[in-house]
Amino acid sequence: MTERDTSAVPLLVGGRWEHDGNLLTATAAGDGRVLGHTFEATPDQLNRATDAAVRAFGITRKLASFERGEMLRRAADLIMAEVDSVGASLAAEIGKPITDARLEVRRTAAAFRMAGEESERIGGEVMPLDLLPTSRGRWGITRQMPIGPIAAISPFNVPLSLSAHKVAPALAAGCSVVLKPDSRAALTMLRLAELLVEAGVPEGALSVLPMSTDVGDLMVTDDRFQMVTFTGSVRAGWDIRARAGTKKVTLELGGTAPVIVDETADPAHAAARTVAGAFKFAGQLCISVQRAIVHRSVYDEYLDALVKGAATLRVGDPLDDATQVGPMISGPAAQRIREWIDEAVAGGARVLTGEPGDGPYVAPHVLDRVPPESQLGCQEAFGPVVTVTPFDDIDEAFAMADATPYGLQAGYFTRDLNRSWRAFDDLEFGAVIINDVPAFRVDNMPFGGVKSSGLGREGIRWAIADMTEPRLLVVAPEAG
Rounded to an integer, what distance in angstroms lies between the CA atom of residue 455 and that of residue 348?
Answer: 36
The answer to whether 477 and 138 have CB atoms below 8 angstroms apart is yes
Tell me the HSE value of 140 on the side-chain side, using a 13 A CA sphere.
13
pLDDT of residue 478: 85
Q: What pLDDT sits at residue 272? A: 99
Domains of the chain with bracketed CATH: 3-253+456-471 (3.40.605.10), 258-442 (3.40.309.10)
* Residue 152 reports pLDDT greater than 60: yes
As a whole number, mean pLDDT of residues 78-82 equals: 99
Query: Is residue 6 over pLDDT 80?
Result: no
What pLDDT sits at residue 479? Answer: 75
Catalytic residue list: 252, 286
Q: How far apart are CA 345 and CA 352, in angstroms?
A: 11
Q: What is the C-alpha radius of gyration for the chain, rounded to an integer number of angstroms? A: 24
Q: Using CB atoms within 10 Å of the CB of residue 381, give its burial: 0 to 12 exposed, 13 to 18 middle, 19+ buried.
A: buried
pLDDT at 95 over 60: yes
The one-character DSSP state at 358 is S
Helical H segments across 245-404, by residue range: 267-279, 296-311, 331-346, 375-378, 394-402
- Res 351: pLDDT: 98
Rounded average pLDDT over 121-129: 96
Please name the helix (run of DSSP H) or strand (run of DSSP E) that holds residue 39, with its range, or none: strand 34-40
pTM: 0.96
The helix (H) or strand (E) run that includes residue 60 is helix 43-60
Q: What is the pLDDT of residues 280-337, one digit of tens each?
A: 999 999 999 999 999 999 999 999 999 999 999 999 999 999 999 999 999 999 999 9
pLDDT digits (tens, 9 = 90+) for 193-237: 999 999 999 999 999 999 999 999 999 999 999 999 999 999 999
At 480 the pLDDT is 57
Q: How far is CA 355 from the centre of its chain?
A: 29
- Rounded-to-integer distance, Cα 302 and Cα 268, Å: 6
Q: Is the dihedral of CA 352, 354, 355, 358 positive or negative?
A: negative
Q: Which of 435, 382, 335 is nearest to 158 (CA)?
A: 382
**The pairing of beta strand 150-153 with beta strand 177-180:** parallel
Classified as helix, coil or strand, 389 is strand
* pLDDT > 90 fraction of the chain, expressed in percent and rounded: 98
Please give the average per-residue pLDDT across 376-402, as a whole number.
98
